[in-house]
Amino acid sequence: MTSDFQEAKPSDADSRIRAAYHSARLIVLAFAVFIIIYAAIGLYLVSSRQPRAVPTQSLLTFYMIAVFMAFGSISYRRAQMRRLRLEVIAGLRGVEGLIKHFFQVTLVSAAMAEIIGLLAIMVALFGGEQLDVIRFGVVALVVELFTYPRLGAWQRVVDFFAAAAPGN
């Protein structure tokens, strides 16, 4: 018979999930703050320069890169979080590998959103307008929000594969 304290005590896997989740959450939030800073720098650059005619082609390239990075971030996350992929990782690397995988996927997806935020500065440097910089900042923040880790989902997946592991 166990006491209520022992039943309420989180398992080792739960503490590892929480630690990885908190690290991932901090990184995603820091990236979001940096995206806001990049957009602010871009807006400052746009407002401090003389208006000039910009070839539409150069801005179109930045927009294409941003679209590619946004869809790339979302599709990468979706592909890496598919059930079959998670089954393979859990089978090969166990619960610890699953936790590392969640962290890595979150980090890579957030970094791709960060690149979109950096494009806001590039657009400002290459002659974009205020609305262009704002668009890049908003898109980067939306993609960053999509990458925000979900603790409940991580725990459910780890609990499922831990219970399905041989010996349980």
pLDDT digit string (tens) for 39-94? 999 999 999 876 665 555 678 899 999 999 999 999 999 999 999 999 999 999 98
Structure confidence at residue 161 as a pLDDT band (50, 70, 90): confident
Contact 90, 10 (CB under 8 A): no
Retrieve residue 11's tokens.
């398992």
pLDDT at 128: 85
Structure confidence at residue 97 as a pLDDT band (50, 70, 90): very high
Tell me whether residue 33 is exposed, middle or buried, using C-beta atoms within 10 angstroms of its C-beta: 0 to 12, 13 to 18, 19 or more. exposed
Residue for token digits 């179109």?
60
pLDDT at 115: 96
Structure confidence at residue 9 as a pLDDT band (50, 70, 90): very low
Decide if pLDDT at 1 tops 70. Answer: no
In this prediction the pTM is: 0.83
Q: What is the enclosing helix (H) or strand (E) of 103?
A: helix 83-125
109-147 per-position pLDDT tens digit: 999 999 999 999 999 888 888 999 999 999 999 999 999
Decide if pLDDT at 34 tops 50. Answer: yes
pLDDT at 164: 75
